[in-house]
Amino acid sequence: MTRTHGGVSRIVRGRVYGAELGDLPEKYYLAVSNNQRNHVLDSFLAVRLTTSPKPTLDTIVELEAADAPWTGRILCDDLVTVYRDEVTRDMGALRQATMLQVNQALRNALAL
């Protein structure tokens, strides 16, 4: 596996990044850690996007047609640490309305 680093110079909360974690192929991750942390550390906290069917839970955000090109769901109960050298590319930002749903799903996942 060769990582290209995707030319991503900074990580921003609310943006989706392609990343290769370990020996897994590229998957999509939404940065959810705060930007101060993202700018200072070599890693960020993220949740995975998936097109696989999942149960209806208050910790999973279903993506809508307005979220195109994204489809599927965001698994807010599956937080992972992503290191900068694992990032392959910046895929763009999610809508503010979707991020508000993500915020609530994270609160639900962490019982906050």
Rounded to an integer, what distance in angstroms lies between the CA atom of residue 102 and that of residue 93? 13
Among the listed residues 80, 70, 74, 71, the one whose alpha carbon sits nearest the alpha carbon of residue 33: 80
- Tell me the two tokens of residue 98: 């979707």
Q: Which domain holds residue 58?
A: 5-109
pLDDT in tens, 78-91: 999 999 999 999 99
Per-residue model confidence (pLDDT) at position 6: 58
pLDDT in tens, 49-63: 999 999 999 999 999
Per-residue model confidence (pLDDT) at position 9: 82
Among the listed residues 5, 15, 20, the one whose alpha carbon sits nearest the alpha carbon of residue 84: 5
Residue 2 sits at φ, ψ, to 5 deg, of: -115, 125
Task: Please count the structural domains in the chain.
Answer: 1
- CATH number reported for the structural domain that contains residue 104 in this entry: 2.30.30.110
Among the listed residues 2, 3, 1, 9, the one whose alpha carbon sits nearest the alpha carbon of residue 86: 3
Rounded to an integer, what distance in angstroms lies between the CA atom of residue 37 and that of residue 64? 29
